[in-house]
Structure 1
């Protein structure tokens, strides 16, 4: 039975990735610090080794002991992480780095892997931990993947756009689901045309497996839903999934002032963000239609205690806006 080592693996994308590989006949080992609950603790086919991936010596010992067929690197947030991992796991059949659509530094519609420029990354940015340098660090991680491939490692990169689905600890979509589930009027920033493409978490997981199995060394593959609804349509889809009747009240910067700005709302984007997923699709990857994906997302959201309340405006501030419109 083939083996896969997931660096990370207990939360959100990692959780879906472990499930994806298990369902396709792999034995899985999780490699992480053990700071989050392990949802696979009762699955004998999922082993767990404790390792801080920043402990280079320990990571190399894990590589030597386990000798996995595939490595999925879910928590490489700095370029050095990728360089160390591609060296430690240089002999695996596939090393797949989870990058990000934020790695693109050029505004194009859509962004394509082999055409759209990546963010630059200075030495200072490479060692930084702030959200402002996230895209720079992921871009430099991609460049580390390309360098490893040139050195003979079967290393590849997968670039998801914003990911949504069950167990999403970022709570970006939870904000909107909680609003739609509990209120009959909600404020929507702008005029409803804001577009930030999403990617369903199970589809990201299947992309990681397909790239590991069929991808080409030194290549990057975008992941994003094959249909990218603008915010107005997205909220309609969310309302349908919640079986809710909600009035969406649009408010631009003038209507939101002085207390709010459009960017205070999760998933608002002042410029369209769209990734082409044709390259991944050519490997045989398919996406999950929104109706199916959102049914699963809503069901898990309602079972959780997440409401996204710290990801967007407070309800009392939102009511002030509603009262003025």
Structure 2
């Protein structure tokens, strides 16, 4: 009989890829969510759906009793209490894996290592806040809840992805840059193009979650990110290669950007200080990342089939044209 997996979430981005990966590895999968998003697995053999609110203990308990899962992948635990409730309820499973975040790290150092780099603190007020500013604090406290559960004998583990990209990415962060490459011959990149924000291909995050559930050590956290890091300029070049097109990368410093009332931070995925995660712990479990050209080819292909354009992150092409005009006069 195949192992059963319960995916809390499961219809959007990371969760969607988790379901696919589990199916590819012989699991019987049940997704548990409120049903507010279209279910891409509605007619898929081997995937069941239990509707409910993960923040409603009764709903979560009903899902547990109906599935009796061997493995639980928790994609939508955004508050520490979510993790405490889940690790208590699923204390008898073979593996409970909490999707944390590289944002849980509270110190800027290169690279950030599990068990060494300090995590963000979390006050009681931050633990229940729903703003973006407390995201890292809440994820870090969720990690600590995993560690406490493991000390009590629960097979609970944490996976910390950095910025995730790939097919079905509703955040549209990388879609902005893909759209720029596909629609313009010249692309403005802030600074010298060498800024580094570690990213993780979504299929690799999905496989990491399954491998940690199967092979991970309770009480441990595992970073996940591309094994080869790429700069912002390198990302644009990868997109152009995957799209079989050519593009000119134009560097713009703070002074040139200011001429159009822009700053480097107006460009999505720009980060002044490098964010790099050590992924050796995960690799020691047998995990591998997808080669960057292959990951980008799949990402660009999905973008072309979607209606995503990253426009919510657009600093404004007219402003960029003003920047280009300034640079052309230098």
Task: Give the alignment's TM-score, normalised by structure 2.
Answer: 0.97
- Matched residue SS, 2:17: helix
Which whole-Å CA distance do the structure 2 matches of 1:251 and 1:125 have between them?
A: 37
Which whole-Å CA distance do the structure 2 matches of 1:144 and 1:311 have between them?
A: 34
Which whole-Å CA distance do the structure 2 matches of 1:34 and 1:65 have between them?
A: 17
Which whole-Å CA distance do the structure 2 matches of 1:289 and 1:65 have between them?
A: 39
Superimposed CA distance per residue, residues 223-268 of structure 1 (whole angstroms, 9 cap, x where no aligned partner): 0101111111121111111111111111111111151110111110
More displaced 10-residue stretch of structure 1: 172-181 or 51-60: 51-60
Superimposed CA distance per residue, residues 268-299 of structure 1 (whole angstroms, 9 cap, x where no aligned partner): 00000000000000000001001111111010
Establish whether residue 110 from structure 1 lines up as the match of residue 136 from structure 2: no
Which whole-Å CA distance do the structure 2 matches of 1:120 and 1:253 have between them?
A: 33
Structure 1 segments (4+ residues) deviating >3 Å = none
Q: Tell me by how many angstroms 1:77 deviates.
A: 0.4
Which whole-Å CA distance do the structure 2 matches of 1:165 and 1:297 have between them?
A: 5
Superimposed CA distance per residue, residues 68-104 of structure 1 (whole angstroms, 9 cap, x where no aligned partner): 0000000000000000111111111110000000000
Q: Tell me by how many angstroms 1:64 deviates.
A: 2.1
Corresponding residue of 1:294: 296
Corresponding residue of 1:153: 154
Establish whether residue 319 from structure 1 lines up as the match of residue 325 from structure 2: no
Superimposed CA distance per residue, residues 190-245 of structure 1 (whole angstroms, 9 cap, x where no aligned partner): 11111001100000000001000000000000001011111111211111111111
Q: Tell me by how many angstroms 1:61 deviates.
A: 2.0
Establish whether residue 304 from structure 1 lines up as the match of residue 276 from structure 2: no
Corresponding residue of 1:266: 268
**Structure 1: runs of 5 or more not aligned:** none
Establish whether residue 57 from structure 1 lines up as the match of residue 63 from structure 2: no
Which whole-Å CA distance do the structure 2 matches of 1:170 and 1:34 have between them?
A: 19
Match of 2:283 among 281, 284, 302: 281
Which whole-Å CA distance do the structure 1 matches of 2:109 and 2:137 have between them?
A: 17
RMSD over aligned Cα atoms: 0.8
- Matched residue SS, 2:313: coil
More displaced 10-residue stretch of structure 1: 61-70 or 120-129: 61-70
Superimposed CA distance per residue, residues 41-83 of structure 1 (whole angstroms, 9 cap, x where no aligned partner): 1112100010101111221122122210000000000000000
- Matched residue SS, 2:314: coil
- Matched residue SS, 1:310: helix
Which whole-Å CA distance do the structure 1 matches of 2:35 and 2:21 have between them?
A: 21
Q: Across the two proteins, how many residue pairs are aligned to each other? A: 325
Which whole-Å CA distance do the structure 2 matches of 1:155 and 1:111 have between them?
A: 21
Which whole-Å CA distance do the structure 1 matches of 2:149 and 2:176 have between them?
A: 40
Corresponding residue of 2:43: 42
For residues 205-216 of structure 1, what are the structure 2 equivalents within 5 Å? Answer: 205-216=206-217
Which whole-Å CA distance do the structure 2 matches of 1:207 and 1:180 have between them?
A: 30
Which whole-Å CA distance do the structure 1 matches of 2:103 and 2:245 have between them?
A: 33
- Matched residue SS, 1:316: helix
Corresponding residue of 1:236: 237
- Matched residue SS, 1:96: strand
Which whole-Å CA distance do the structure 2 matches of 1:9 and 1:65 have between them?
A: 17
For residues 181-260 of structure 1, what are the structure 2 equivalents within 5 Å? Answer: 181-257=182-258, 259-260=261-262
Task: Give the alignment's TM-score, normalised by structure 1.
Answer: 0.99
Establish whether residue 10 from structure 1 lines up as the match of residue 21 from structure 2: no
- Matched residue SS, 2:204: helix
